[in-house]
Amino acid sequence: MVRTSLLFALSLIVATALPAAEPANPYAATDRIFEEYALDAHIPGLVYGVVSDGKLVHVGTFGIQDLESKRPVNADTLFRIASMTKAFTALTVLKLRDDGRIRLDAPAETYVPEMRGWKYPTEDSPRILVRDLLSHVGGFVTDDTWGDRQTPMAEDDFTRLLREGVPFTRAPGTAYEYSNLGYALLGRIVTNVSKQNFAATITQTLLKPLGMDSSGFVAAAAPAERRALGYRWEDDAWKPEPLLGPGAFGAMGGLQTSANDYSKWLAYLLSAWPARDGADSGPVKRATVRELSEGLNFPTLRPRPARTGTAPAQQAITYAKGMIVAIDPELGFTMSHGGGYPGYGSHVMLMPNRGVAIFAMANRTYAGPSAPAWDAAVSLLKAGALPDERTRAVSTELAASYRAAIDIYKSGSIEHNPDALAMNFLLDRDAAAWARELKKLKAQVGDCDTSAPITATGGLAASFNWRCSHGRVRGGLLLAPTRPPKIQSLSLTPVQP
């Protein structure tokens, strides 16, 4: 017994003397996810980043910029980001709308006269609206591989193509189908309305104000020592892809940027959430930025983009404006977009309600790093390294109504505070019925701790949970759109085992 006690005492001394363990690095797991992906996908070079709280909080780099110099990839390495360009084009169109120069519900031919003679697929086809182009419901066919190779098309050649008309795959406004041609048309609209090339307008509207000074639409103009050259994996070897220059299709996928520059764009987008009072410093209004998440009709389901290490999950998605909006069962509200291009592949996913974004850029044709980006998000979530979704502030009216709801439960009578009730409340269930229901509930769950806070789901709606002596109660509160707002609906439901 003495020996055992002595050993125990010594173990306590040693344990006390040891330094506290360092907190686990949540990015070690995400680094491994991207490192393994780059290896398995035969990617020469890759960079990924995590943006949170308005800054680039983590960056991971793997491999080389090019096979000749073998310069390692870093946060300033420039990659073509392909269709991740579309969000820049969409927000520029929305800014021109804000300025009164474009109407989203105007026919696109209002701004592109070459479209006026087009033959539509049916006699009852509506004219393509600017809004249709933003959300890929213009009736055009999917054109990923063809569209990518059109990036350097001369403006005169694009004018001839438009003047001759294009075939449709369906009537406009009847279904979603991804179209690079549609975003090239948006680029032409920006050019015609702003009286200068779309690339210059996007640069002046977004890139320069955000300090994205290394980003641009002319890849060859950037310093050669900073550029990631593009390759394709073919016959078990890397083969160089030709450099595609700037041209008429650049609005759909021509931007080149770095991790450091692109993180400024993501920090700016995320700063638009939540809606709030206070200075709106631009370069585009916060409310307009949030429109990038507003889709049209035609929602669908898809599996969460994933590779390994995450449970299968179905997402409800729709294409908004330069972004795919998905509701993920674990991650919540997300916005994302991929970029596939000869020599390059990229992906970005934002969680606006958490203030976090993850992006990746690679220099292999159609590298498609969507799976590791989403796996990284789930990895950070499970490690507790993602902020909780931001909760709304509880309004004064909600707080007062919650106190009234507590009084109702404690007193067992809906008539205890009649001034808190909207005119419909006792018409939907009379006072006697409420008294019986409250008595039954109290008998089932007992006394409840009503000090729990409420969670606002809107300015006039909230949920709450009470822990009681014999169970729990889940509650909901909904106020009427009157001044002052009063309780139109109150739910008190025992939690079933």
Name the β-bridge partners of 449.
467
Domain 396-494, classified CATH 3.10.450, yes or no: yes
Name the β-bridge partners of 356.
52, 351
- Determine contact, residues 307/370, Cβ cutoff 8 Å: no
Structure tokens, 423:
């005119």
- pLDDT grade for 5, boundaries at 50, 70 and 90: very low
> Could you give the CA distance from residue 347 to residue 255 in angstroms, rounded to a whole number?
14
Q: What pLDDT was estimated at residue 8?
A: 34
Task: Calculate mean pLDDT across residues 338-364.
Answer: 98
Q: Does 367 have pLDDT greater than 70? A: yes
Q: Scan for tokens 């507790």, then name that residue.
A: 384
- pLDDT grade for 360, boundaries at 50, 70 and 90: very high
| Phi, psi for residue 216 in degrees, rounded to 5 | 180, 180
Q: What pLDDT was estimated at residue 3?
A: 37
Q: What pLDDT was estimated at residue 391?
A: 85
DSSP label of 56: E
Q: Does 11 have pLDDT greater than 60? A: no
Reference 402, options 481, 479, 471, 472; nearest CA is 479
Structure tokens, 112:
């592109």
Domain ranges of the chain: 27-382, 396-494
Name the β-bridge partners of 479.
487
Q: Strand pairing of 314-319 and 300-303?
A: antiparallel
Q: What is the pLDDT of residues 454-487, one digit of tens each?
A: 999 999 999 999 999 999 999 999 999 999 999 9
Q: What is the pLDDT of residues 210-252, one digit of tens each?
A: 999 999 999 999 999 999 999 999 999 999 999 999 999 999 9
- pLDDT grade for 21, boundaries at 50, 70 and 90: low
Q: What is the pLDDT of residues 130-148, one digit of tens each?
A: 999 999 999 999 999 999 9
Count other C-beta atoms under 10 Å from residue 46's C-beta: 29
Reference 469, options 490, 494, 492, 491; nearest CA is 494
Q: Does 396 have pLDDT greater than 90? A: yes
Between the CA atoms of 88, 47, 319 and 309, what dihedral angle is there, to the nearest 10 degrees? -160
- pLDDT grade for 280, boundaries at 50, 70 and 90: very high
> Quick one: what percent of the chain has pLDDT higher than 70?
95
Q: Which CATH number fits domain 27-382: 3.30.300.100, 3.90.550.10, 3.90.1150.10, 3.40.710.10?
A: 3.40.710.10
pTM: 0.91
- pLDDT grade for 17, boundaries at 50, 70 and 90: very low
Q: What is the pLDDT of residues 63-85, one digit of tens each?
A: 999 999 999 999 999 999 999 99
